Amino acid sequence: MPKPSSRDRILDAYEEILLTHGPAAVTLDAVAAQAGVSKGGLLYHFGSKDALLDGLLERMSLLTESDVAKARQAEDGVARYYLRSSVTDASMDNPWHRTTLAAVRLAGDEPKAAEALQACMRPWRELLIEHLDDPLTAELVTVIGDGLYLRASTGEDPSPLLDQLDEILLRLGAKP
């Protein structure tokens, strides 16, 4: 596996500070130190804290696009992929999860982060509507996925519900 670029290490460090200490702890000096680069090196890639935020949100968008593309190819269907990945992606080892949680930490004070999080949900809703043929069912699947994600993120075992995906989708009126 290739060594991450300086840019990626800086974004990783930004995420880590956000997740561990919150937005108030983010300074360019702290991010540079965490990334193991000079402040000048950080500024070469990200000229300001705002540019750092833009980099994080761009990363989140790219990771979401990649995940949506995987869902389109899922053999067991888009809805099942969405619900299963809501649980399996809730690991701190998962890049999408870390980046999204970092953006969530910013969303209360940064309208740009809140807008980016909403924008990342749009392609999922559109894809679910396309495959389920019903906007309400698609919305219910996203809400169930959100709940599974929250449970998994807090350490609760949501696997009993995953074992009943066919039944859940049937009750929603979706084809299992």
Q: Kindly write down the DSSP assignment for every residue of 70-105, as one continuous string.
A: HHHH-TT-HHHHHHHHHHHT-STT-HHHHHHHHHHH
- 37, two tokens: 């680069």
Q: Given this structure, which CATH class describes domain 1-47?
A: mainly alpha
pTM, 2 dp: 0.88
Domain map (residue ranges) of the chain: 1-47, 57-171
Encode pLDDT of 81-132 as tens digits.
Answer: 999 888 876 677 788 888 998 999 999 999 999 999 999 999 999 999 999 9
User: What HEC string does 143-164 produce?
Assistant: HHHHHHHHHHHCCCCCHHHHCC
Helix axes 49-73, 111-132, angle to 10 degrees: 10
- Res. 168 pLDDT band, cuts 50 70 90: confident
**Tens of pLDDT along 56-75?**
999 999 999 999 999 999 99
